[in-house]
Structure 1
Amino acid sequence: MRAPIRWGLLPLVFAGGVLGVALRAALTLPMQGGFTFGLLVATIGINAVGSGLLGFLVAGLGDAHPRRRAFLGTGVMGGFTTYSGFAVLLGELAQAGLILYAALFAALALLSAGAGAILGLQAGAKLARRRGIAP
């Protein structure tokens, strides 16, 4: 059975999203204008860090703090990370005929985000155990 939508959390998600997008923009706007090396690295880093922090929040907060999780997890981290930016950069590399670079970029982006999530989940679970919150 599907859980009911908690409409009261929507303003928190919105506010967190605004903050997350602003943080990402502060890091990436100076590098806009195609697939520069800096933008590729920033996109990988943002998604790895964001995945790690989201994993930490999910495991560390559990279901005990739905308002914090909505603001920080869905909002801030959802706005900060950028799957669409990753996909567009990947497409630009492929369209330019840089298939090897596109494959390398995709592999590094996915592996680093996955590693970030795993490390974040482990750290969050450790914190939750210390605080007596069931994972």
Structure 2
Amino acid sequence: MKIEGDFEVEAPRGEVWEKIRDPQVMGASIPGCDTVEQVDETSYRAQVAVKVGPIKARFNLLVEVLEEQPEHTILSRTSGEEGTRASVVNSDNVVRLSDTDSGGTRVDYVANVSVTGRLGKFGLGIFRKKADQLAGQFVVNFREKLGVTA
């Protein structure tokens, strides 16, 4: 499933870049993220709880930054599973930053997500709706961390 979108932040690109690269800011912005731990310079572990339909799941995730083009693009891979291996998630992600005419930053993102196991049984429509809800809440949380509203 391909998840993509964009949003704008009224903050300079350099500031947005630093916040996106900060695992504590990102963890605090991701709905359901309980913990983030830096493993090494380019890898992080996180625990994220989600509820899709009647199923609640807690994923142990590994996020690996594969490539960075400073203040412009981050390529990453996320993989993880529930403790019981009931569901497995894998995602290849691209985040791109660009300047807006007003001096802010536009954030474009694309994630190619695969979910198997008990959560994989839900239809694409349910997953897309949930992904859109989570993305919307992330944007609100991330803007709060930057101290801006748009």
Same fold (TM over 0.5): no
Q: RCO higher in 1 or 2 (8 Å CA, sep ≥ 6)?
A: 1
TM-score (norm 2): 0.27
Higher share of residues assigned helix: 1
Greater C-alpha radius of gyration: 1
TM-score (norm 1): 0.29
Higher share of residues assigned strand: 2
